[in-house]
Structure 1
């Protein structure tokens, strides 16, 4: 007898109490989503979305002013301090 045959045989001959199915079905708790978490996630989405849009707006305005592209800045040079 193989393992599969043994398992099939055991499953066919298993005896469960009559109220077993009722106990399982009545013990299942319905899913409850907490409304506080949903509101927190919604607020977080607005904050992240708003900061992303604001960052894009700031970057665009630093590069593109009056529909003209700003040239790159020249590198800074060190100067000796006069005493």
Structure 2
């Protein structure tokens, strides 16, 4: 899990967002430089997303998984056959 994400890279004012993870290495919160919460996620057991709130976007989920952008073919990996557990 990365420690930070640089948002708005292609603008005049890029923003550094700090990634906060839970005990299973899932991203649960992003905060900006003034320590304001800009994104938050709540997970159900076994890694399913219950709710996401905030103005920022990020595509990391369980440390090894990333949400594919629309129109992209899904990646095939050894984790595709594993249960939906973020560990």
Q: Which has the higher strand share?
A: 2
TM-score by length of 1: 0.19
Which one has a bigger Cα radius of gyration?
1
Q: For CA contacts below 8 A with separation 6 or more, give which structure has more relative contact order.
A: 2
TM-score by length of 2: 0.18
Q: Which has the higher helix share?
A: 1
